[in-house]
Amino acid sequence: MEKLDEMTGPILGSSSEKYTHGHHASVVAAHAVRRASEAAAFVLPQLKSPMRVLDFGCGPGTITNDLAEYLLPDGSLVGIDSSDAVIEQARNAATEKNIANVEFEVNSIYETGYESSGFDAAYAHQVLQHLSEPVRALEEVKRVLKPGGICAVREVDWGASAIWPNDERLSKFFDVYSKVAERNGGDAFAGRRLKQWFTDAGFSDLVVTTSTWTFAEGSGLKWWGDQWADRILSSDLAKRAVEYGIATDSDLKDISQGWLDWVQAEGAFFSFIQVEVVGERA
Ligand SMILES: C[S@@+](CC[C@H](N)C(=O)[O-])C[C@H]1O[C@@H](n2cnc3c(N)ncnc32)[C@H](O)[C@@H]1O
């Protein structure tokens, strides 16, 4: 069995917490298509020069590097992630694009070590759903924000998804995904809990919105199905599913074929909601 993409070094949540997807090339490639214009649209008007912004769980940094441009001329960003592999990728991308107002560091949002009140804003995209202690992470964000600073987070809710045509193999995919996420300490239905987590962490003046990701045609639909057909066989999701006894290799092959067939199916459709919360540190 290949070595799993364990997080070593940075401080984690409960000892059983594991990042569900890992950083297999199929996962990182899927994250690297994300852009701030979509993933941060709900907060972009509030992020401007000369703010100092923290992007926690920044992954390969495509969103972070976009945000850096929105903060010009005098704003700056720090992107942190517990994986050194993705931080290196993010740093290289910033260097290639000559983006000078961004820094990337391997660090954990549970305990960043940053001074209190050092940031004007914090942002995260699809991160808290993977943490066993999301409120503790938000409390650390609150600590590093200035009074009046904002925290903006977007999390999917896999329970608010719709797929057509019906296919038992894809129903199995949803079941496997949510069970592995839960066993890893996360929550595939995080979107619906995000407002509560902000409240529990002591943020005020919450603004809650939703948007959707929809794959219904052309290259977008094909990309969505193909990447899950790959990830369900080769990412840490697959390895953990087998390790935990949630699915067999044969189940995973069926699910993968289910996604490939979905790409070809007449009337293929997939959509789910993204929950977005912006809260203020009083
Ligand atoms: C689903 S990815 C999202 C990446 C990026 N925000 C995006 O939307 O493309 C979640 C990221 O959170 C990181 N992560 C998990 N636990 C973390 C922690 N305690 N502190 C910082 N990053 C963490 C993972 O390594 C992973 O890169």
Residue 7 lies in a domain: no
Read off the pLDDT of residues 96-131 as tens digits, 9 standing for 90 and up. 999 999 999 999 999 999 999 999 999 999 999 999
Give the C-alpha separation, 133 to 156, whole Å. 17
Read off the pLDDT of residues 79-92 as tens digits, 9 standing for 90 and up. 999 999 999 999 99
CA of 82 to the centre of ligand 1 (A): 7
CA distances from 158 to 20, 125, 129, 162 (A): 14, 15, 11, 9
Lowest mean pLDDT among 7-11, 66-70, 87-91, 211-215: 7-11
Pick the residue whose CA is nearest to atom 13 on ligand 1. Answer: 57
Burial of 160 (0-12, 13-18, 19+ CB in 10 A): middle
Note the pLDDT of residue 9. 47
Residue 4 lies in a domain: no
> Average pLDDT in the 3-24 region?
65
Residue with structure tokens 């896999």?
158
Counting from 1 in the atom list of ligand 1, the atom nearest the Cα of 11 is 19
Residue 45 lies in a domain: yes
Give the C-alpha separation, 197 to 275, whole Å. 12
Q: Is the pLDDT assigned to residue 4 strictly greater than 50?
A: no
Q: What is the average pLDDT score of the chain?
A: 94
Residue 15 lies in a domain: no
Pick the residue whose CA is nearest to atom 10 on ligand 1. Answer: 127
> Average pLDDT in the 43-65 region?
98
Residue 19 lies in a domain: no
Lowest mean pLDDT among 20-24, 53-57, 181-185: 20-24
Residue 262 lies in a domain: yes
- Give the model's confidence band at 25: pLDDT under 50 very low, under 70 low, under 90 confident, else very high: confident
Q: Domains in the chain: how many in total?
A: 1
Residue 8 lies in a domain: no
What are the start-end ranges of the E strands in 96-144? 102-106, 119-125
CA of 81 to the centre of ligand 1 (A): 6
Note the pLDDT of residue 28. 87
> Average pLDDT in the 177-201 region?
98
- Give the model's confidence band at 149: pLDDT under 50 very low, under 70 low, under 90 confident, else very high: very high
CATH label of the domain that carries residue 245: 3.40.50.150
Instruction: Output the ligand 1 site: residues, CB below 6 A.
Output: 12, 19, 21, 31, 34, 56-59, 63, 80-83, 86, 108-110, 125-127, 130-131
Residue 2 lies in a domain: no
Note the pLDDT of residue 8. 39
pTM for this model (two decimals): 0.94
Q: Is the pLDDT assigned to residue 6 strictly greater than 90?
A: no
Q: How many CB atoms lie within 10 A of CB 2?
A: 9
Distance from chain centroid for Cα 80: 13
Read off the pLDDT of residues 207-229 as tens digits, 9 standing for 90 and up. 999 999 999 999 999 999 999 99
Q: Is the pLDDT assigned to residue 7 strictly greater than 90?
A: no
Show the domain range for 210.
25-280
